[in-house]
DNA sequence: TTGAAAGCGCTAACAG
DNA sequence: CTGTTAGCGCTTTCAA
C-alpha cells in the first residue's frame, strides 16, 4: 500500500509538501509540484480517504436511507441522488430497512460513526419520520416525502395534492361521478396527500365521497389487482378508479380485463407516478408524472447547499416539486402517440 | 462529538480499557466492563468508524459499481446485495457510471482511497469489464454477468444460455420456424449469451438462422417497440419473436398491437428476466425468470467469503445461477393464473 | 487486569 | 516556498 511517505521519499520532499500538492495548495514551487506529481503518478498513489477523513472531519460521503421495497420510485430517486452527488465528488452509501426499528439502528451507526457528512432520508411512513427526525440534531439532512420538518433540515415533497386533484377533476370532466380510490399503504404520506387531493376535487365537483368506493392496496400491482377487483365486483361499482400509484393502477387495468370490463368505457383508470410501463400498457395509462430523477438531484443539491453552509432562505425549508398530469387512453382521452414523450 | 477519551474519563479508566470493552476483549474485570458500558450508554457514544478503519485497515464497507441505467434489473440486484450485506454489518456504497472512463475513475478513488474492503462489479459491457478487471489486483471482488474472471475474484453469471435455449425450443414446439431475435445493447454479455442459446436451439431444431429476423434494441421498451416494428413490417415477417429482455418484449407486444397483429396467433412473443409487469401485461408475457434478489444476495455471500479468507473451491470460481422458464400467454400457451406465483 | 505509548495516513499550524 | 511537528480517534503491543 503506497502512502504519502513513499511519495515524499520518491520526490525528495517532505510529506507536508506532498500534502500541499494533493490539496491544490498554491504555495509550492512549480518545479517541486511537478516532481511530486510525477512521483504520485509513478507510484499510482491515491490518498487514503480514511486518513483524510479522520483529519479533516469530513468524509465526502452522504448516507441515503430508504425502505427496502422493490420500487421503481425509490430506485430512480437513488439514481438521481447518486448521479448528482457523484458529480460533486461525494460518495453515496445506501442503507435500507424494513421496519422503523431497524431504520433507526442503521441510521445511528451511520451517523454516530461519523461516516457520513449528511443524510437523505426517504421515509414514506409517517411514523418512522418522527422517530428518526428527533435524532437528526445538527446533521445536515434532506427529508423526502414526509410532512415532518425541523429548523435544521430541509424537506422535499412532490405536489401530491395538486396531482391528485387534477387527476380527479379530469375524471369528473369525463362525466364520472362514481370515482373509486385505491389507497396505498397505511400511514403513507404520499397516499394520504393524494387522497386529500381526490377528496377536495370531489367536493369541488359537488360529489359526495363514498366510502364504498374506497379500498386499500400496498403500492404493488398485486394489491392493486385485488383492490380493483373488490371495487368492481360490487353491486354499485365505480365507473372510474383513481389509484394512488401506477403499479396499483396497472393491477387495476388487469383486473378490469379479467372481469371483461372495457377500459375506459366501462371503467376509466388513472394512476400516479408515470412509471415507464404506463406508456406501454394497453390501454396506455393516464397518470401524474413525477420527475423522479430530478427529485433525486434536488435532494442532492439541497444537501450540498447545507453542507456548504449556504444560508437557507425561509422558503427553501420545505420545497414542493411540481408534478404533471398526463392524459393517455385509460381515462377516456383519445390516443395520442406523439405527446407521450421519452422516458428519462 | 464524544470520543473514546470522554468515555475513559467518565468511567475513570484509560482509553485502552474502553477500547477493550468496545471490541469485546475478555481481559477486563466484570466490574470495570460494567462501568465502561454505563459510561458509553450515558454519553451515547459510538466509536468513530473512520478512526477504527484507519487503525484496523478495514472499513466494513463494500463498493457496488453498476451502470447508470434505469433498470429493474440493477435496482433489484443492489437491493439484494444491500439486504444481505447490511445483515452482516457491512455498509454499501453505490457508484454508478455512464461510460467506461468514468467507471474506472470512480472505481479507483473508491479502491485506492481504501474506502472499501471489497467490490461487487456489474459490468454488462464486455469492454468495461476488461478495463477494470485488470486493476482489481488483490482486492476481493465479485463480478456479475461478465465472462471475465481472475484467479483473485469470483464471477457470478446467470444461466443466460440455458434460459434462451429453453425459450427458443418452446417456440419451436409451438410450431414456429420463423423466430425473430431482438438483441440487447452491443457488446453486452447477457445479450450475447442469450443469442447463443437462441442459435443453438434453432440449430438443434434444424432451423437455419436468418439474419433478416434479427434486429437490435437497447434493453428498453422504446427500442424494443421500434425493433419489433421493423421486424414485423417486413415482407417475410417472423411468426415469433424472442427479445433479449422483458422491457423490449413489452415494447414488442405494444408494437404488435399497433400493427393490429394478434398475440400469440399472428406473432408469439417471449422475453427474458420476468420483471413484474410481465405477469400483468395483456397478454401475459412468457419469459425466463431470473432470481434477481437472490443474485444480489449471492454476490454478497461470495464477497464475504473472500473477505473472511475462506478457501474458494475451484468450482466456486465461477458460479452459474439457474433460471426458470415460465409459460404465460404470449407464447401461445393457455392462460394459467394459478401458477404465476408471487413477486419477490 | 490495566495503563502508557506508539502509530495508522494524513492535514495544518508554525517555523524557518 | 518548504520542513517539523502535533494531533485526528482509535487499536495494540509492551510493561506493570
Q: Is A1 within 8 Å of B114 when comparing Cβ atoms? A: yes
Cell digits of residue A187: 400511514
* Whole-number Å distance between alpha carbons of B65 and B83: 16
User: For strand D, is any atom closer than 7 Å to the CB of B89?
Assistant: no
Nearest CA in chain A to B51: A54
* Whole-number Å distance between alpha carbons of B107 and B134: 12
pLDDT at B133 (0 to 100): 60
pLDDT at A125 (0 to 100): 65
Distance of CA B27 to the CA centre of its chain: 44
pLDDT tens per residue, range B303-341? 998 888 776 665 568 889 999 999 999 999 998 754 444
**How many C-beta neighbours within 10 Å does residue A42 have?**
12
Contact B165, B197 (CB under 8 A): yes
Query: Which residues on B lie below 8 Å from A82 (Cβ)?
Result: 68, 94-96
Contact A105, A321 (CB under 8 A): no
pLDDT at B174 (0 to 100): 96
pLDDT tens per residue, range B118-136? 999 887 665 655 666 666 6
pLDDT at A272 (0 to 100): 97
pLDDT at B143 (0 to 100): 87
Query: What number is the average pLDDT over the span B67-86?
Result: 89
Q: When comparing pLDDT for B79 and A131, which is higher?
A: B79
Q: When comparing pLDDT for A343 and A137, which is higher?
A: A137
Q: How far is B248 from chain A (nearest CA, A)?
A: 11
pLDDT at A17 (0 to 100): 95
Q: Of B1, B49, B254, which to mutate for an interface test with A (greatest number of A Cβ within 10 Å)?
A: B49
pLDDT at A339 (0 to 100): 40
pTM for the whole structure = 0.89
Contact B319, B156 (CB under 8 A): yes
Q: Of A91, A290, A329, which to mutate for an interface test with B (greatest number of B Cβ within 10 Å)?
A: A91
In sequence order, the 6+-apart residues with CB closer than 8 A to the CB of A178 are A210, A213, A236, A237, A238, A239, A240
Distance B86 CA to D13 C1' (A): 33
pLDDT at A282 (0 to 100): 82
User: For strand D, is any atom closer than 7 Å to the CB of B187?
Assistant: no
Query: What number is the average pLDDT over the span A231-243?
Result: 95
Residue B153 vs residues A107, B84, B102, B127, B136: alpha-carbon distances, Å: 31, 19, 22, 18, 8
Query: What number is the average pLDDT over the span B286-300?
Result: 96
pLDDT at B291 (0 to 100): 96
Question: What value does the mean pLDDT of chain B take?
Answer: 88
Buried b (16+ CB within 10 A) or exposed e, A117-152: bbbbbbbbbbebbebbbeebeebbbbbbbbebeeee
Query: What number is the average pLDDT over the span A56-76?
Result: 88
Tell me: pLDDT of B222 over 70. Answer: yes
Percent of chain B at pLDDT above 70?
A: 88
* Whole-number Å distance between alpha carbons of A298 and B321: 38
Tell me: pLDDT of B242 over 90. Answer: yes
pLDDT tens per residue, range A98-116? 766 666 677 777 777 778 9
User: Which residue carries 487514503 as its cell?
Assistant: A48
Tell me: pLDDT of B100 over 80. Answer: no
Query: Which residues on B lie below 8 Å from A112 (Cβ)?
Result: 44-46
Q: How far is B97 from chain A (nearest CA, A)?
A: 8
DSSP A18-64: HHHHHTT-S-S-HHHHHHHHHHHHHHT----HHHHHHHHS--SEEEE
Report which listed range, A148-162, A298-312, B206-220, is most confident.
Answer: B206-220
Tell me: pLDDT of B102 over 70. Answer: no
Q: Is B220 within 8 Å of A343 when comparing Cβ atoms? A: yes
- Reference B115, options B140, B130, B93; nearest CA is B93
User: For strand C, is any atom closer than 7 Å to the CB of A19?
Assistant: yes
Contact B118, B135 (CB under 8 A): no
pLDDT tens per residue, range B170-215? 999 999 999 999 999 988 889 999 999 999 999 999 999 999 999 9
Please report, in angstroms and rounded to a whole number, the separation of the first and last CA atoms in chain A.
42
* Whole-number Å distance between alpha carbons of A94 and B78: 10
Decide the pairing of beta strands B179-183 and B240-243.
parallel
Nearest CA in chain A to B251: A280
Tell me: pLDDT of A325 over 70. Answer: yes
Q: Is B112 within 8 Å of A70 when comparing Cβ atoms? A: no
DSSP A257-320: HHTT--TTTT-EEE-SB--HHHHHSSSPPBEEE--HHHHHHHHHHHHHHHHTTPPPPGGGSEEE
Nearest nucleotide (C1') to the CA of residue B52?
Answer: D10
Query: What number is the average pLDDT over the span B145-167?
Result: 84
Contact B173, B206 (CB under 8 A): no
Number of helices (H) and strands (E) in chain A: give both, helices first.
13, 12
Residue B343 phi/psi, 5° resolution? -70, 160
Contact B60, B89 (CB under 8 A): yes
pLDDT at B150 (0 to 100): 64
pLDDT at B125 (0 to 100): 65
Contact B194, B226 (CB under 8 A): no
Least confident of A32-41, A63-72, A188-197, B16-25: A63-72
pLDDT at B33 (0 to 100): 94
User: For strand D, is any atom closer than 7 Å to the CB of B112?
Assistant: no
User: Which residue carries 465528488 as its cell?
Assistant: A89
Nearest to A48 among B76, B113, B253 (CB): B113
pLDDT at A76 (0 to 100): 92
Residue A315 phi/psi, 5° resolution? -70, -10
Q: How far is B333 from chain A (nearest CA, A)?
A: 17
In sequence order, the 6+-apart residues with CB closer than 8 A to the CB of A25 are A19
Cell digits of residue B271: 422475453
Decide the pairing of beta strands B318-321 and A154-158.
unpaired
Establish whether the linkage from the previous residue to B274 is cis, with ω within 30° of 0.
no
Contact A90, A118 (CB under 8 A): no
Query: What number is the average pLDDT over the span B97-106?
Result: 69
Query: Which residues on A lie below 8 Å from B113 (Cβ)?
Result: 46-50
Tell me: pLDDT of A71 over 90. Answer: no
Decide the pairing of beta strands B324-326 and B287-289.
antiparallel
Tell me: pLDDT of A19 over 60. Answer: yes
Q: Is A95 within 8 Å of B95 when comparing Cβ atoms? A: no
pLDDT at B224 (0 to 100): 94
- The protein residue nearest nucleotide C7, judged by CA to C1', is B55
Distance B11 CA to D5 C1' (A): 31
pLDDT at A244 (0 to 100): 97
Tell me: pLDDT of A31 over 50. Answer: yes
Amino acid at each position: 500500500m503506497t502512502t504519502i511517505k513513499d511519495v515524499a521519499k520518491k520526490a525528495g520532499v517532505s510529506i507536508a509538501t506532498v500534502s500541499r500538492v494533493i490539496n491544490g495548495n498554491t504555495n509550492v514551487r512549480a518545479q517541486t509540484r511537478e516532481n511530486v506529481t510525477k512521483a504520485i503518478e509513478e507510484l499510482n498513489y491515491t490518498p487514503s480517504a480514511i486518513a483524510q477523513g479522520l483529519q479533516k472531519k469530513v468524509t465526502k460521503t452522504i448516507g441515503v436511507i430508504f425502505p427496502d421495497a422493490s420500487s421503481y420510485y425509490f430506485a430512480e430517486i437513488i439514481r438521481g441522488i447518486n448521479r448528482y452527488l457523484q458529480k460533486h465528488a461525494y460518495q453515496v452509501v445506501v442503507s435500507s430497512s424494513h421496519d422503523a426499528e431497524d431504520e433507526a439502528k442503521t441510521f445511528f451507526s451511520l451517523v454516530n460513526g461519523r461516516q457520513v457528512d449528511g443524510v437523505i432520508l426517504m421515509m414514506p411512513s409517517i411514523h418512522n419520520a418522527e422517530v428518526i427526525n428527533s435524532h437528526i440534531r445538527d446533521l445536515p439532512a434532506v427529508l423526502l416525502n414526509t410532512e415532518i420538518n425541523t429548523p435544521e433540515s430541509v424537506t422535499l415533497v412532490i405536489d401530491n395534492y395538486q396531482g391528485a386533484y387534477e387527476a380527479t377533476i379530469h375524471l369528473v370532466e369525463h362525466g364520472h361521478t362514481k370515482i373509486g380510490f385505491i389507497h396505498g399503504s397505511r400511514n403513507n404520506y404520499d397516499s394520504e396527500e393524494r387522497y386529500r387531493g381526490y377528496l377536495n376535487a370531489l367536493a369541488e365537483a359537488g360529489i359526495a365521497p363514498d366510502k364504498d368506493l374506497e379500498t386499500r392496496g400496498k403500492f404493488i400491482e398485486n394489491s392493486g389487482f385485488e383492490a380493483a377487483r373488490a371495487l368492481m365486483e360490487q353491486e354499485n361499482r365505480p365507473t372510474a378508479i383513481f389509484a394512488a400509484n401506477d403499479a396499483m393502477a396497472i393491477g387495476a387495468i388487469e383486473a378490469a380485463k379479467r372481469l371483461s370490463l372495457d377500459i375506459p368505457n366501462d371503467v376509466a383508470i388513472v394512476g400516479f407516478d408515470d412509471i415507464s410501463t404506463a406508456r406501454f400498457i394497453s390501454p396506455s395509462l393516464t397518470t401524474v408524472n413525477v420527475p423522479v430523477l430530478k427529485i433525486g438531484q434536488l435532494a442532492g443539491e439541497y444537501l450540498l447547499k447545507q453542507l456548504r453552509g449556504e444560508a437557507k432562505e425561509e422558503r427553501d425549508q420545505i420545497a414542493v416539486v411540481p408534478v404533471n398530469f398526463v392524459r393517455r387512453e385509460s381515462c377516456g382521452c383519445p390516443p395520442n402517440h406523439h405527446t407521450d414523450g421519452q422516458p428519462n
